[in-house]
Chains A and B, each alone.
Chain A
């Protein structure tokens, strides 16, 4: 029987992909040591999360049918500790949390883990995630929506659903002892690179050094002109121009993740001074609420306090993605064009190779089918341009019935 389930429920943009990739990379060693990460790919629990929360996700939800129940079955079948991790679980409602807990069976010790980063870094990152998911909302519009206390609309409700740390922990942790609710804080900028993994490892009950093989997986951020460029691309390719699967492959993965996020010289996304002040106040409220709850904090709640900056410093560091430097956007666009040309050339070479394979297969098929088949096919082709032959073929097909097919 499973002794312990550790549910890592978010938040997005707190190193979750990195952690999931480490767990996936080491899944066999972990299993040998008694800890199961039940996954056939690093983000395998995404589909289970869609199923649990009945979420649509650009057509991917069709692959999610029954995924949570299958995951729960794996959990119940493991004799030891199981780790489940996906950041969109943060949005689960209390009803869905109850269903998740019940699915693990009786007598299981459930732990909930939420990794959290300060709001001043999270808010721009969330807008960028929105842009990378085809949204065309401008930055100021996004900020206005999330700072509106009414929280109306899907954009604001999603943001708060995945980013409001005290509320997420309330929803996931209210039926658990505080000692089984863990807040892993993301260290401030400049901290040692391995520190975040050490914090996660301590919650998972793992030796950080043993499983510290570097992961190539992360979810890097783009700068201001690059994000502005993707948003403009969205405006051109949405509404039927580019299917979701093509968007994922060419815009999100190829352009955003593999190329534009590697351009490090451009200005980074930050908060304008007015929103920064609001986020600083809200962070103080959260820190107080979390401290009062007595959760197990791995790291320090101080990490959730944005790095101090005066208003003039905030103003100086702010580059507005709604009015970006057009020269920088043009530079990013040229890089994007080159990337797409290279990809086009690669795909074309691949297509040529595949065509050659198909032709070779046809030649081999003809050789096997023999002379009579080749004569019939020739007659059918000739019938396209010869009226007598065409009528004869039509008559032949009527006599033969509708099942007759061209060669």
Chain B
């Protein structure tokens, strides 16, 4: 489903964030991405979602080469993904409900379907009854859940989560990972990055370890 062939990403200034990476993620797989800060985890996720373009190599998603995707086709590729950002990227100028609604507006769902899906997504992440609050009133963990609700509301086939458990205590982090597991069980492909490997070990899935832009055993 997601294939990297000799992918290198060099940022302006000569920093090689990723060096000749190759990997293959199957549909429905749950893959952890481990490594220290600066190892290239975020860059890898951005390449999968087509947010960054590889300097060389091929990034295939559902057989489509994102390195060559046109500007016009990229938005439609991105709709296959649910993105959970390290910094949440929540919009504080609107209530919780409108934050979750945004992907559906972009795709163009009709009103009744929008309401049904937003409430279902909020219920799934445990934020029922908080749809009218401003996100500023939510705790750090709840904001993380809001970000997850927004990522899954349009039922993407691939979820990409960048450090979703950072800054959360261990119990809360487990809750979040359990939530991801439930998406995995219904067939969603997940790629989750984290710097704390002990959490991943509990789930016994495939772990890709990154160091200085390369995979290590």
Asked if A and B bind, the verdict is no
Residues on A close to B: CB < 8 A?
none
Residues on B close to A: CB < 8 A?
none
